[in-house]
Amino acid sequence: AQSVTQPDIHITVSEGASLELRCNYSYGATPYLFWYVQSPGQGLQLLLKYFSGDTLVQGIKGFEAEFKRSQSSFNLRKPSVHWSDAAEYFCAVGAGSNYQLIWGAGTKLIIKP
Amino acid sequence: NAGVTQTPKFQVLKTGQSMTLQCAQDMNHNSMYWYRQDPGMGLRLIYYSASEGTTDKGEVPNGYNVSRLNKREFSLRLESAAPSQTSVYFCASSGQGFSTFGSGTRLTVV
């Protein structure tokens, strides 16, 4: 069955430190992969997406993610986090031709001053 | 600004009451979706519409109905609200390979 796993429910990082959020997926075909961010009380905003080609994709707000087919992973990274990055981050896999998404449960990012 | 607009933003219902959540997009997207978001469960698809005139069930359709009124509008109806339907509801539309979300409706059923 298709699924997305985000192993960390929450992560605490000091401001200025690097960040990596993990995402593993189970999908039979070549996946379309997404990272979205949700600030408190807000909707979801697309950070980046991978469809094909270069496995390292750049997104908004200084985020990047790397697709590793052998590990079924699509981890999100940022070299130096800012307090404004505190939010919940969702990984998703696109399933089917209508961009239906299968979602991970989310990782809440907490920034320590 | 182009995007997805949901109304209302907040709603409190009594058990058994009905209501319709409205969603409109102005990006000329064919596909539209309704999700519910519950703590620790990510987003779960309730219904989707691949194009005007079609609707299909998602992962958790029970207790809901939808109408794709035209290409822009996709409404979600709760006929007889239950406390289990307390959640945050998001509408989304898809185009250019990704989904754009509305800001959500926080629904409480008491």
Q: For residue range B32-51, what is the model confidence (pLDDT) as tens digits?
A: 999 999 987 889 999 999 99
For chains A and B, count residue pairs whose Cβ atoms are closer than 8 Å.
52
Contact A43 B90 (CB under 8 A): yes
| pLDDT, greater one: A64 or B95 | A64
Prior bond of B8 cis (ω within 30°): yes
pLDDT of residue A101: 86
Q: What is the C-alpha radius of gyration for chain A, rounded to an integer number of angstroms? A: 13
Closest approach of A8 to chain B, Cα-based (Å): 11
Pairing of strands A10-14, A107-112: parallel
Residues ≥6 apart with Cβ < 8 Å to A3: A25, A26, A102
Structure tokens at B3: 């995007």
pLDDT (tens digit per residue) in A26-54: 987 778 999 999 998 888 999 999 988 89
pLDDT tops 70 at residue A104: yes
Reported as a pLDDT band with limits 50, 70 and 90, residue A80 is: very high
Do residues B76 and B23 lie in contact, with contact meaning Cβ atoms separated by under 8 Å?
yes
pLDDT of residue A47: 96
Reported as a pLDDT band with limits 50, 70 and 90, residue B97 is: confident
Do residues A19 and A47 lie in contact, with contact meaning Cβ atoms separated by under 8 Å?
no
pLDDT of residue A28: 75
Q: Among all residues of chain A, which has the CA nearest to that of B10? A: A41
Pairing of strands A3-5, B64-68: unpaired
Structure tokens at A73: 């992973």
Count of all residues that appear for chain A in the document: 113
State whether residue B52 sits within 8 Å of chain A by CB: no
Dist CA B66 CA B76 (whole Å):
5
What integer is the mean pLDDT of A3-11? 94
Q: What's at A4, amino acid-wise?
A: V
Dist CA A22 CA A41 (whole Å):
23
pLDDT of residue B27: 93
Do residues A63 and A55 lie in contact, with contact meaning Cβ atoms separated by under 8 Å?
no
* Cβ-Cβ contacts under 8 Å, A100 against chain B: 33, 45, 48, 58
pLDDT (tens digit per residue) in B54-94: 999 998 999 999 999 899 999 999 999 999 999 999 999 99
What integer is the mean pLDDT of A61-66? 96
Q: Among all residues of chain B, which has the CA nearest to that of A10? A: B40
